[in-house]
Amino acid sequence: MADNKNNPGQVEDTGHEWDGIRELNNPCPRWWLNSLYLSGLLVIVYFVLYPSLPLVNESTKGLLGWTMINEYKEDLAKVEAKRAPFEDKLASMTVEQILADQEMLNYAIGSSKVLYGDNCAACHGTGGAPAAGAGYPNLTDDDWLFGGKPQEIMVSIAAGRQGMMTAHKDILKPEEVDQLVQFVVDSSNGVATEAGKALYMAKGCFACHGADAKGVKAMGSANLTDKIWRFSGEPEQIRHTILHGVNHVSDPLTRVAVMPAWNEKLAIMLEARANAIADGEDPNEIDWDDELDGTESERLTETEIKKLTVYVHQFGGGQ
């Protein structure tokens, strides 16, 4: 390093010079040096307080004992504490009460999104509208196979659903199948003929779809007089349904329509309560030991099913 004695009062010179440009040796600014020392200090403080040095199986723990998982657990506990009063209240409310209480309704809907996404969206689509042709019912329309009242939706979710239509390939003549396909197409357009209707009655379709062909909720039989199709309105697809039925086990070409059960225990309890009320008995008197044997599945809790009932109900098609 060259001396700068020759130029006192001037900045020190490193002695390097390129094409007449001299490299000076200015001291670093004070503020810059201070921040450097400060950050060095912070490193030491951090090093002492927090986990820092990786060892064989874990790292040094630090004086504060902080860990990311603990922080996560604390955050979670805070969220749970906020939710607890709502969850407790929900547990004691009926679906109808939840629907009538704006605050609880908002909470139920908000906390159902993940529940629905995890358990239902794979079949019914994110917003309740499945991909066309996927073979799952749309939950956002006004057309319910098994009913859109809160209690009916709740039973659908708790018990699962499996509509059953017999295959007709062995009992109908080809021309009868043609005529019935035409009847279904005509019905959906509101122009069914007397002859078509007569065949529909004679072949026993009415036993499940009703004399008016509008479907029977207790059986989940589709309404044949509207333009909303459970499967498809294409004549070839209608023919397929008539020939092979739905969930007709012995026909390998049958349509498969299975809604899994999410809480068999709750399903049995709902049914027993409904029966007791229908028979004029007190549902609180039911002896559950007689009804339940302890092997019933509970994939979702009763509260979760209430939330989902509310969620599905507000998709727009609720009744």
Residues that bind ligand HEC (CB under 6 A): 119-120, 122-124, 136-137, 139, 144-147, 153, 156-157, 161-166, 168, 180, 184, 203-205, 207-209, 219-222, 224, 229-232, 238, 241-242, 246, 257-260, 262, 308, 312
In the complex, the smallest distance separating the C-beta of residue 265 from ligand HEC, rounded to whole angstroms, is 15
- The position carrying tokens 């969206």 is 121
Closest to ligand HEC by CB, 158 vs 269, is 158
Residue closer to ligand HEC (CB basis): 67 or 301? 301
The amino acid sitting at 52 is: S
First CA to last CA across the chain, in angstroms?
A: 90
Please identify, using beta-carbon distances, which residue of 51 and 112 lies nearer to ligand HEC: 112
CB-closest chain residue to ligand HEC: 163
Cα(137)–Cα(145) distance, rounded to whole angstroms?
A: 8
Alpha carbon distance 122, 136 (integer Å): 10
Which C-beta is closer to ligand HEC: that of 98 or that of 241?
241
CB of 135 to ligand HEC, least distance (A): 7
- Integer Cα distance of 308 and 305 in angstroms: 5
Least distance CB 207 / ligand HEC (angstroms): 5
- What is the smallest separation between the CB atom of 170 and ligand HEC, expressed in angstroms? 12
CA distance 86 to 105: 10
CA atoms in the 13 A half-sphere facing the CB of 7? 10
In 98-166 the beta strands, taken as DSSP E runs, fall at none
Least distance in angstroms from the C-beta of 173 to ligand HEC:
12
Residue 299 DSSP code:
S
